[in-house]
Chain A
């Protein structure tokens, strides 16, 4: 009886092994089912979804105008102190003082891409960009100013 069990065990082991190996062999001969991407080489065809959260950016239009009013809602919404809004007072044509942003400082090294600032923004001034290759040689390059130099607020955005 012992010998019979032993032979049965060996037979079962070899059979189950072959069943598993057949699966491996199937993919060895069916190249079309391989889904691996060759990452650094496929940069040109890499297609990231538009909601992908890479970093926070502030879109500017052709006249170098943005939509940020300097309300600091994003700064308050951020859990890590990633965003710092520095405001100034501008005098407009009628001689009235108006609050505007001087700099919107963004610390990429602190950001966790949680999207809370984008949701909090009442005027859609900031959005998430699809960039993901963030490596730089010096840490200070992570601190970014999101508004372009010389930019001002778009007409009609309150």
Chain B
């Protein structure tokens, strides 16, 4: 592949970024064809962290396969687990108690904030700013502490199970979340002061990596990447699951299509998540945290598909069941793969230094792309 690209045009230089490179946030290998400093072509090479999760799931039962999905998009592992649990519940027609639904949404939104925090810090670090990384981790750390207290883990929780959640929330949960909201609101202005308002940062982001709305649709982009181009794609609004249709929040849309728009979408999305948490935190209904289910789950014969909005976009879980205790086939439609496929399109013609900024705003998580 590398030789073929090199021989197409004389005078072009081929550079390999990755698979071990700090800017790729994982084992992604980019073969970049350069003309001087201008990018002619970007070819992502995948598969370095492929663990065949879809095939693994075929040998695991419907309770067991959920923990593996935490390892796909490890920054929004709660939402991955949620998608799988929803698919199993849809197949078995399990009614989830109201308390579990609210706990699930609270956890999802906390995860979304934590994921966007990490993205913000890592993206600023890609552009050379080192301080924001630690500021982002301060807030993310308090979310991780909340998760650790209730779910027992910081990253791969395996907390959402078919029928509800694994354990009831910790007695401290509500107070801890309220303390976090208070702390977060007193710190939110730092983000604008340090990064968003910085002229150097804005010059590196505005009109860089422009993705039009038509291209976003045709490449299958979802999540903040598509919403930065003005494409309405929030699954929470379009196909509401759980009690999202009863909540008051806005779908964040920016119409620039450039890196700065994608950046602003994520910054504003954190505020919307805060809004959702504030609506629910004082109104967690009493009752069971888990529906009564059989010890062995058996999905009826058929095909089941659900989608949820992760921090990166639309995650679809497709299960083909033959009626047994294990799925016949599982397919995950991951948001990262479609968002990565747009990279060559938006990077062509721009400078090599801007490629890192574009990759940063696409918010790539490589285990999610490879699975």
Instruction: List chain B positions with a Cβ less than 8 A from chain A.
Output: 60, 63-65, 67-68, 131, 138, 141, 148-153, 156, 158, 166-167, 170, 190, 193-195, 197-200
Chain B CB within 8 A of A152 CB: no
State whether B63 touches A49 (Cβ < 8 A): no
Q: Which of the residues A20, A48, A52, A113 comes within 8 Å of B198, measured between beta carbons? A: A20
Chain B contacts for A112, CB-based, 8 A: 67, 156
- Identify the 5 closest CB pairs spanning chains A and B, nearest first: A79-B64, A51-B152, A114-B67, A53-B152, A13-B199
Using CB atoms, name the residue of chain B closest to A119.
B166
State whether B64 touches A116 (Cβ < 8 A): yes
The A79-107 residues at the B interface (CB cut-off 8 A) are: 79
Q: Contact flags (1/0) for A121-138 with B, using CB distance below 8 Å? A: 000000010000000000
Q: Contact flags (1/0) for A65-89 with B, using CB distance below 8 Å? A: 0000000000001110000000000
Using CB atoms, name the residue of chain A closest to B192.
A19
Asked, given contacts A77-B64, A79-B64, whether A13 binds B200 with beta carbons under 8 Å apart, the answer is yes
Using CB atoms, name the residue of chain A closest to B66.
A114
Chain B contacts for A128, CB-based, 8 A: 152
Chain B contacts for A35, CB-based, 8 A: 138, 141
Q: Which of the residues A17, A22, A51, A116 comes within 8 Å of B170, measured between beta carbons? A: A51
State whether A53 touches B153 (Cβ < 8 A): yes
Chain A contacts for B149, CB-based, 8 A: 49, 51
Q: Which of the residues B150, B152, B193 comes within 8 Å of A20, measured between beta carbons? A: B193
Chain B CB within 8 A of A23 CB: yes
Complexed CA–CA distance, A78 and B167 (Å)? 18
B177 to chain A, nearest CB (A): 15
Using CB atoms, name the residue of chain B closest to A52.
B152
Complexed CA–CA distance, A19 and B149 (Å)? 36
State whether B198 touches A16 (Cβ < 8 A): yes
Identify which of A9, A12, A23 gathers the most chain B CB atoms within 10 Å of its CB. Answer: A23
Chain A contacts for B158, CB-based, 8 A: 114-116
B208 to chain A, nearest CB (A): 17
State whether B131 touches A24 (Cβ < 8 A): yes
Asked, given contacts A20-B194, A35-B138, A119-B166, whether A12 binds B199 with beta carbons under 8 Å apart, the answer is yes
Asked, given contacts A9-B199, A79-B60, whether A23 binds B190 with beta carbons under 8 Å apart, the answer is yes
State whether A22 touches B193 (Cβ < 8 A): yes
State whether A115 touches B60 (Cβ < 8 A): no
Q: Which of the residues B67, B170, B193, B198 comes within 8 Å of A49, measured between beta carbons? A: B170
State whether A113 touches B131 (Cβ < 8 A): no
